[in-house]
Amino acid sequence: MNDFIKGYDAKMEKTIHSVQSDFAAVRAGRANAQVLDRISVEYYGAPTPLNQVAAISSPDPRQLVIQPWDRTLLKAIEKAINTSDLGINPQNDGRVIRLNFPQLTEERRKELIKQVRKYGEQGKVAVRNIRRDAMDKIKAMKKKSELTEDDVKDYEKDLQNVTDKRCKEIDKLTADKEKELLKV
């Protein structure tokens, strides 16, 4: 595989990492600090990621504790969590904020599985878009007579193999996340 294909493969790899981070944000009924990665808090007039203004710990499998370094942020953190799509009510005791993750209901599990499948499909679409961009570039190179007909066929075959491999990775990640969500 040459540098041309490797460049597009690297872009596809980034797409897979993006899908993994989307999956990590889907809570599976147990406490996971990654569900808070997308939450920003207003700190001195600037939106700041929650993990940069507070320590986040998990004392037990169903609870996260957020301890801000500046206690004046407690209300802002509580507000940010309430306005997010987490669906968990924070409990503020004046020093820390506790997030208790309830057991997932069957209905909620099905909703989360739909969301996971959507993220997986978006990832596969992104991989296919990268393939399309590469194919357009190959065709442009052929038009400029920089590639022979045989080279074009080889590049297209290699590119399709890489695309298929990346799509299978996304399918496996999706299936693994679904199993995690179905586990009681």
**What pLDDT, on a 0 to 100 scale, did the predictor assign at position 184?**
61
Tell me whether residue 95 is exposed, middle or buried, using C-beta atoms within 10 angstroms of its C-beta: 0 to 12, 13 to 18, 19 or more.
exposed
pLDDT digits (tens, 9 = 90+) for 87-121: 788 888 888 999 888 777 888 888 889 999 999 99
pLDDT digits (tens, 9 = 90+) for 40-56: 888 888 888 988 899 99
Q: Domain 3-25+105-182 has what CATH class?
A: mainly alpha
Q: How far apart are CA 18 and CA 147, in angstroms?
A: 33
Per the CB < 8 A criterion, the answer to whether 127 and 173 are in contact is no
Average confidence score pLDDT of the chain? 88
The answer to whether domain 33-100 has CATH 3.30.1360.40 is yes
Judged against a pLDDT cut of 90, whether residue 86 lies above it is answered with no
- Under the banding of pLDDT at 50, 70 and 90, the label for residue 174 is very high
Domain boundaries, the chain: 3-25+105-182, 33-100
How open is the CA angle 82-84-66, to the nearest 5 degrees? Answer: 65
Coil, helix or strand at residue 63? strand
Per the CB < 8 A criterion, the answer to whether 68 and 53 are in contact is yes
Per the CB < 8 A criterion, the answer to whether 24 and 34 are in contact is yes
Instruction: Provide the whole-model pTM.
Output: 0.72
pLDDT digits (tens, 9 = 90+) for 3-14: 888 999 999 999
Same fold yes or no, 3-25+105-182 and 33-100: no
State how far Cα 35 lies from the chain centre.
Answer: 10
**What pLDDT, on a 0 to 100 scale, did the predictor assign at position 65?**
92
